[in-house]
Amino acid sequence: MPHPIPSIKNVVFDIGNVIIQWQPYEALKSIFPDPEAMHRTLIEIGFFEWNIEQDRGRSWEDGLALIAETQPEYLHIFEAYLRNLDTAHSKQVDGIKHIVEKLHANAMDLYGLSNISNEAYQHVLTAAPHLNLLQHATISAEVGMVKPDRDIFEYCLRHDNLDPVETLFIDDSLANCKSAVACGMKAHLFKNAENLAQELIELGLY
């Protein structure tokens, strides 16, 4: 006889581009003429690699000091991003608030797992107050680990006492979803709220 499919009791949300849109262009648009120019420059100067270390918990003082030493001609870009962190994390992802609220109303246990700095997370809590419906959020800067490393998934499962086979993980990154699956979780690669709602319906959660 086939084994029964374990029921999902826990839902773990990524935050950036699932709950809240990450919009560095909004924070930097006074510097760049258009998003394409910004994206090209940020790749060239290693902004995204630098930012992941902020997500890992490096202080902003140390992060800016590194740029002042190694790329002083671009320091103004990094300073502008920090100055406008609230703007970069101010817009909710369409439709996700309703999903979080409905899952909560359906007595699902909700959690978060995000690569984000402590400072940015405070802005997100203001922009997306439905995050307060989560029982707990594992924030990378607090634990000194980042996705897609398995360590942070294992930490989340252990800290929140979650059985991975009863846990659905939602993230817009394929690499992060693969790590969640490797830890025994079910994963949904987030595209939009409509697709997520359809899978939740199929799982009997929505």
104 token code pair: 């909560």
CA distance 3 to 187: 20
Residues in the chain: 206
**Domain range annotation of the chain:** 10-21+92-202, 24-88
CATH superfamily of 10-21+92-202: HAD superfamily/HAD-like (3.40.50.1000)
pLDDT at site 206: 87
What residues in the chain have per-residue pLDDT under 50?
Answer: 1-4
Strand 20-21 versus strand 91-92 pairing type: antiparallel
Interval 77-127: pLDDT, tens: 999 999 999 999 999 999 999 999 999 999 999 999 999 999 999 999 999
Single pTM value for the model: 0.94
